[in-house]
Every structure is written in C-alpha cells, then in structure tokens.
C-alpha cells in the first residue's frame, strides 16, 4: 500500500488522470490525500470532482480557497471572477451532487505514517496552533459547512479581519479567521498576524513578516506539515514542511509525493512524482 499527497489540481482533470497513471494508483491498494483547490482556473473542474467522488474511500480531499469560492458562487453569495472556469460545475446536470460532496470535505487532515505525524492543510497553520488544535479548529468550520445553515457562514466568510488568533473569538469572526489561516495564509509576523497581499515567493517576503512555516515558536515544528496553495513557492521538501503546489494550472507540473518509511532520525523519506500540464504537452507536439 502506498500513500500519496497531491498538490493543487485546480480543474486540470487530464493532468490528474495522467498523474494517477504515472504513479500506477490503485484504489484497492493505495491512498490519496489531495491538498485542496480541486477546482477553478483549469478546464474541467466537474471532471476532477467526479473522478474524486469515484475514488471515495481511497481519496481524501481538503477544501482550498477556490473550492470555498465555488460554494459561495453557487449560493449566489459571490460573483464569479473573470478568470473563473466554474461553469462546468454550475451548469452540470449533477451540480447539486457535486456541490454537496464538496462541502463534506475537510479543512485539515492528519495521518500517522510509520510513526510520524503528517498534518495536511491547504495553505498553512498559525504558529500558536498545535497539530491537535488545528484539527479541532478545522472541525468547527467543517461542522458548519456540512450543516443546514452553511450558506449563512459563506455570506460572512470574506474579510481579512480578524487577522490574528484570539481564543476569545466567537461566531463568524472565529470561523473566518480559521478559514483564512487554513486556506489563504502565506506570511505572518512574530505574533501570528497574517498578511494577505503578497502572493509571490520567498524573495518578496514583506518587511516584518516571515513565511508562516518559519515563524518563531511555531508549535507544529515537531510534526510534518504538508500544504499546497503557494505556487510561487514551488516544491519545498523539508523534514517539517512539504509544499506541493507546483503550478499545474499556470503551466507547471502536477505533483504527487509518495511517503515512505522514515530514516533513523524519524524523518520521512519521500519520492516526488510529477506530470507536465496540458500547455507543456501541447508545446512539445
């Protein structure tokens, strides 16, 4: 049995199909963890969702910011962006089945692999949160999204504030901060205040901030955190962080990471497997 982590698919269903073939994925033998942003900007978001639904029990998915955006647009709570490619889902005959399946997905996942804890989120975690705290906070949002009143939260989900964790936060403000941390964070300061304007790589780190995974005192530093979201960061394979958004939808690759047994120091071995995007294949013809 092999365990794979897959970065942002973003509607690139053809690349996803080729990646599954490349890793010789068998749903009866192997397990996938998809790190969010299943949909949008690529050509076939509906195809991605249908493929993942058929792999239920062998594939576990996170919600990313684009997935939440789809849910909000479908409820009429958010206007589609000019570059969105969500019509294939919004006008699909099985639209409601796809959307209902999507909102049952997770904001964080955790697995023990050969004795090593791997925490999976779409974007990152705040430095004050432990692995256990992250899972508990994700569950708060998941309960709302899976419940009958989920549209009420989606209507209040979009704001950059509050931008710093406070245990006393309640209601939509608390849920919004959890979502922003798990699906949007790239940089934060030493106090855990999030910065949302900068979308470039490490060379563009704003003054007074660090990448969230280098924040001083980060309480998940003893675990391995896997995430996507940050295509301009690219592949990062440290013992404590694994970054897997390789920008397939922007002309890069779609990446899968096969987790293997740890070494004598408790660090997971892993193998990176990639397939090129459709654009790259077309240029090679």
Which tens digits make up the pLDDT trace of 247-273?
A: 999 999 999 999 987 776 667 788 999
User: pLDDT tens, 203-252?
Assistant: 999 999 999 999 999 999 989 999 999 999 989 999 899 999 999 999 99
Q: How confident is the model at residue 113 (pLDDT cuts 50, 70, 90)?
A: confident
First to last CA, the chain: 35
pLDDT value at position 279?
67
Nearest to residue 37, comparing CAs of 195, 244, 279? 244
Using the predicted structure, report yes or no on whether residue 1 has a pLDDT greater than 90.
no
Q: How far does Cα 84 stand from its chain's mean position?
A: 18
pLDDT value at position 108?
98
What is the dotted CATH code of the domain comprising 3-284?
3.60.21.10
Q: Where are the domains of the chain?
A: 3-284
pLDDT value at position 71?
98
Mean per-residue pLDDT for 164-191?
Answer: 98
Q: How confident is the model at residue 57 (pLDDT cuts 50, 70, 90)?
A: very high
Q: What is the rounded distance in angstroms from the CA atom of residue 62 to the CA atom of residue 197? A: 23
Q: E strand or H helix at 4, and its extent?
A: strand 3-6
Q: Look over the chain and give the mean of its residue pLDDT values, rounded to a whole number.
A: 94
What is the residue whose two structure tokens read 């029990």? 57
Q: How far does Cα 273 stand from its chain's mean position?
A: 18
Three-class DSSP category at 138 = helix
User: pLDDT tens, 73-89?
Assistant: 999 999 999 999 999 99
Mean per-residue pLDDT for 111-122?
Answer: 88
C-alpha dist (Å) from residue 25 to 17, 32, 60, 144: 10, 9, 14, 33
Q: How confident is the model at residue 285 (pLDDT cuts 50, 70, 90)?
A: very low
Q: How confident is the model at residue 45 (pLDDT cuts 50, 70, 90)?
A: very high
């Amino acid at each position: 049995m092999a365990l794979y982590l897959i970065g942002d698919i973003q509607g690139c269903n053809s690349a996803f199909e080729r990646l599954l073939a490349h890793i010789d994925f068998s749903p009866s033998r192997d397990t996938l963890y998809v790190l969010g942003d299943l949909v949008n900007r690529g050509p076939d978001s509906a195809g991605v969702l249908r493929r993942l639904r058929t792999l239920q029990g062998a594939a576990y998915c996170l919600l990313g910011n684009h997935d939440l955006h789809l849910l909000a647009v479908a409820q009429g709570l958010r206007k589609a962006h000019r570059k969105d490619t969500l019509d294939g889902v919004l006008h699909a005959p099985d639209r409601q089945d796809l959307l209902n399946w999507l909102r049952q997905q997770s904001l964080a996942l955790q697995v023990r692999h050969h004795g090593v804890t791997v925490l999976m989120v779409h974007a990152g975690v705040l430095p004050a949160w432990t692995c256990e705290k992250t899972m508990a906070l994700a569950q708060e949002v998941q309960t709302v999204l899976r419940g009958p009143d989920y549209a009420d939260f989606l209507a209040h989900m979009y704001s950059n504030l509050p931008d710093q964790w406070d245990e006393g936060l309640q209601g939509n403000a608390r849920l919004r901060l959890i979502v922003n941390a798990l699906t949007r964070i790239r940089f934060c300061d030493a106090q855990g205040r999030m910065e949302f304007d900068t979308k470039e790589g490490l060379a563009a780190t704003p003054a007074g901030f660090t990448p969230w995974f280098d924040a001083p005192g980060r309480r998940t530093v003893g675990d391995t955190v896997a995430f996507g979201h940050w295509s301009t960061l690219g592949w990062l394979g440290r013992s404590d962080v694994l970054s897997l958004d390789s920008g397939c939808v922007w002309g890069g690759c779609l990446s899968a990471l096969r987790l293997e047994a740890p070494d004598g120091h408790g660090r997971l071995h892993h193998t990176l497997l990639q397939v090129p995007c459709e654009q790259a294949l077309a240029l090679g013809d």
